[in-house]
Structure 1
Amino acid sequence: MEPTIEDRAEQAYVGITEVATLAEWGRVNALVPEVLEWLTGHGATPVGPPIYRYYAGEPGGEIEVEVGWPVSGDVPASERVTAGTLPAGRYAVLVHHGHPDSIGQSFAALEAWSQRTGENWAFADGRWSCRYESYRTDPAVEPDPARWETEICYKLAE
């Protein structure tokens, strides 16, 4: 399991930020349809699959995550739904195959790759500059979690 290195352009998105433990993750997952409903209610259409952008945290503790959808152009924000951008830059990209509950194996592979290659993750003020997952499989189309694909992207230090 080796990542590829990709140069990515800036990508606008809208999302809701939440802090939760893995035991509370159902609350985080519930944000996907909430943000989509808000987005379509404002006449906008996502330009890709939902994303989970991580800012800080550890699997055993609280995790700060923003759940959203990529958009093209400007979309107005609200108190709850904010507009943001995934910054342009070099990313280590790995596609996880299977149920999201087993994604820790892919995180471990990325960490091992980083140690082996000396590539470091980008940080800003002690937080991840940009670390996100893009859920490429729609469970309504493919109900078997063993066949799901999740793209994991970690921004690399310059």
Structure 2
Amino acid sequence: MPEIVELEERPYVALRGKVAMDGIAAFADRMREVIDWLAAKEIAPNDAPFFKYDVVDMDAGLVMEIGFPVDDLRSGEGEIVTGVLPAGRYATVSHHGHPDGLMAATRDLLAWGEEQGVEWDANGDHWTARLEIYRSDPREVPDMNDWDTDLQFKLKD
């Protein structure tokens, strides 16, 4: 069942790109670029990796970031960007299962928000913070059907 939580701001490092709906898996495969960049800068992630959906346009595609929260924020380079996930109230829900189920989980969270009368921190297709946080480490949980993923969508202040 979704709930509303208060979260502190979280600095992060990510790879940013424009992605077609059918290109999310290929973009996710580029997570290694973020890991290698962090390693080269000797920056350790302080939490699980995430996908951040900045623009969600089912026709024109997505603008998204894949990255990690960090303590030591530096300037990005090229497609590597840095930013801060803003503090505030977030609607959140956990999903257990294959990432293929996240589209339905997202639809359900959005429907729940509509039922609850929440106001998303979004301007049309542009979102302030719409996140999928991947809690399961594939090295420890190789079966994607056993993965745990949190959805966190920021609400207007």
Name segments (4+ residues, structure 1) moved above 2 Å. Answer: 58-61, 73-76
Instruction: Answer yes or no: is 1:108 the counterpart of 2:107.
Output: yes
Deviation at 1:59, TM superposition (A): 4.5
The TM-score normalised by the length of structure 1 is 0.92
Matches within 5 A, 1:10-21: 10-21=9-20
Q: Which runs of 5+ in 2 are unaligned?
A: none
1:45-96 Cα shifts (integer Å, max 9, x gaps): 1111111111112456511101111100322321221110100000001111
Deviation at 1:124, TM superposition (A): 4.7
Letter in 2 for 1:91: Y
Letter in 2 for 1:72: D
SS in structure 2 at match of 1:115? helix
Asked if 2 retains the 8 angstrom alpha-carbon contact of 1:44 and 1:75, the reply is no
Matches within 5 A, 1:1-158: 2-59=1-58, 61-124=60-123, 127-158=126-157
Number of positions where the alignment pairs a residue of Structure 1 with one of Structure 2: 157
Classify 1:101/1:60 alpha carbon distance in 2 versus 1 (closer, same or farther; 3 Å): farther
Asked if 1 retains the 8 angstrom alpha-carbon contact of 2:43 and 2:72, the reply is no
CA RMSD of aligned residues (A): 1.6
Q: Which runs of 5+ in 1 are unaligned?
A: none
Instruction: Return 51-60 or 107-116, whichever deviates more.
Output: 51-60
Asked if 1 retains the 8 angstrom alpha-carbon contact of 2:56 and 2:125, the reply is no
Take 1:96 and 1:26, find their aligned partners in 2: how far apart are those partners?
18
> In percent, how many aligned pairs have the same letter?
31
The TM-score normalised by the length of structure 2 is 0.92
